């Protein structure tokens, strides 16, 4: 009960001015984004066990890698009804029990009457400590009313922050693992690309062989062609030489036939011809 004064943990079921925790649980369950990753044969469903998750069937749950017998999760925090008690100590059922008989003030009347009876009959001995106890109760009630909510929220936030930090550590680890899966699969896919490279190497080899073969053929063809071209050129030079020789020979023979007498005769014939042309 004292922990309730300092820490509002647990699932609050009753009416409350704050949003009850159970609603947060319900909304977290309905809004949880579950992702599915593929394994080789099956699929792993990523469970959303983040705060404020709740495992109800905790007795049958098997902890992974449990190092000792019976190790398992703790039971979930019990449901907590804020309206279960009034003024932290008096059960609501007492008020409900007396309500039909005495109305809303019944329990208070009963308690006051009981206290008065205890004092008057001296079942409760009135002493110095009574003042002390009364002062204690009043002081703590005042403190609780004044700063109680702040202290409760602070301690609750400490607890929740730690849980959320653990959730983060777990989520980061899982993200890293999923990334590793992706990377390994990518590397495997890349390794299978070796086939393509081998094909390229085979193609290169075939191309090089083909190139060499064609080059050899081309060089043979080139050599044969050069010899034939030589023949053609030799023939051409031959004909040119013979033709030139013939022209020279004819010229020589013609020159030999020309003597001074024939030259004079030709000159005379030319003059006679000129004369005839001039007389016309």
Residues 192-231 that bind other proteins (CB under 8 A): 192-218, 220-221, 224-225, 227-228, 231
CA distance 162 to 82: 25
SS3 40: coil
**Residue 180 binds other proteins (CB under 8 A):** yes
**Residue 162 binds other proteins (CB under 8 A):** yes
How many other CB atoms are found less than 10 A from the CB of residue 81?
16
Q: Give the residue with the Cβ less far from other proteins, 110 or 209.
A: 209
> Does residue 21 contact residue 160 with C-beta atoms inside 8 Å?
no
Angle between helix 92-102 and helix 106-120 axes, rounded to 10 deg = 100
Q: Give the residue with the Cβ less far from other proteins, 101 or 192.
A: 192
**Residue 39 binds other proteins (CB under 8 A):** yes
Q: Which of residues 57-116 bind other proteins (CB under 8 A)?
A: 58, 61, 63-65, 67, 71-77
CB of 169 to other proteins, least distance (A): 6
**Residue 50 binds other proteins (CB under 8 A):** yes
Which one among 2, 15, 36, 47 touches other proteins, defined by CB under 8 A?
47
With tokens 């329990």, the residue in question is 107
Q: Which two tokens stand for residue 203?
A: 């193609």
**Residue 32 binds other proteins (CB under 8 A):** no
SS3 132: helix
**Residue 154 binds other proteins (CB under 8 A):** no
The residues, ordered by sequence, that sit 6+ positions from 35 with a Cβ below 8 Å of its Cβ are 46
């Amino acid at each position: 009960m004292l922990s309730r004064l300092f820490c509002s943990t647990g699932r609050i079921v009753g009416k409350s001015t704050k949003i009850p925790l159970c609603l947060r649980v319900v909304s977290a369950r309905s809004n949880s984004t579950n992702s599915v990753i593929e394994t080789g044969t099956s699929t792993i469903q990523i469970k959303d066990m983040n705060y404020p998750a709740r495992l109800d069937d905790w007795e049958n749950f098997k902890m992974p890698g449990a190092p000792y017998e019976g190790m398992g999760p703790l039971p979930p925090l019990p449901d907590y009804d804020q309206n279960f008690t009034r003024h932290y100590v008096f059960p609501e059922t007492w008020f409900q029990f007396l309500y039909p008989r005495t109305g809303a003030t019944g329990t208070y009347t009963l308690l006051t009457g009981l206290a008065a009876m205890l004092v008057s009959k001296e079942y409760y001995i009135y002493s110095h400590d009574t003042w002390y106890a009364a002062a204690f109760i009043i002081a703590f009630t005042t403190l609780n009313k004044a700063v109680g909510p702040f202290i409760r929220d602070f301690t609750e936030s400490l607890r929740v922050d730690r849980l959320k930090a653990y959730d983060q550590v777990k989520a980061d680890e899982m993200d890293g693992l999923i990334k590793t899966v992706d990377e390994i699969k990518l590397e495997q896919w890349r390794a299978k690309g070796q086939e393509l490279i081998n094909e390229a190497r085979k193609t290169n080899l075939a191309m090089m062989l083909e190139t060499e073969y064609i080059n050899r053929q081309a060089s043979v063809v080139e050599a044969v062609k050069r010899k034939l071209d030589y023949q053609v050129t030799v023939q051409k030079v031959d004909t040119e030489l013979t033709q030139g020789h013939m022209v020279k020979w004819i010229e020589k023979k013609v020159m030999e036939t020309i003597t001074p007498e024939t030259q004079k005769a030709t000159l005379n014939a030319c003059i006679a011809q000129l004369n005839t042309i001039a007389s016309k």
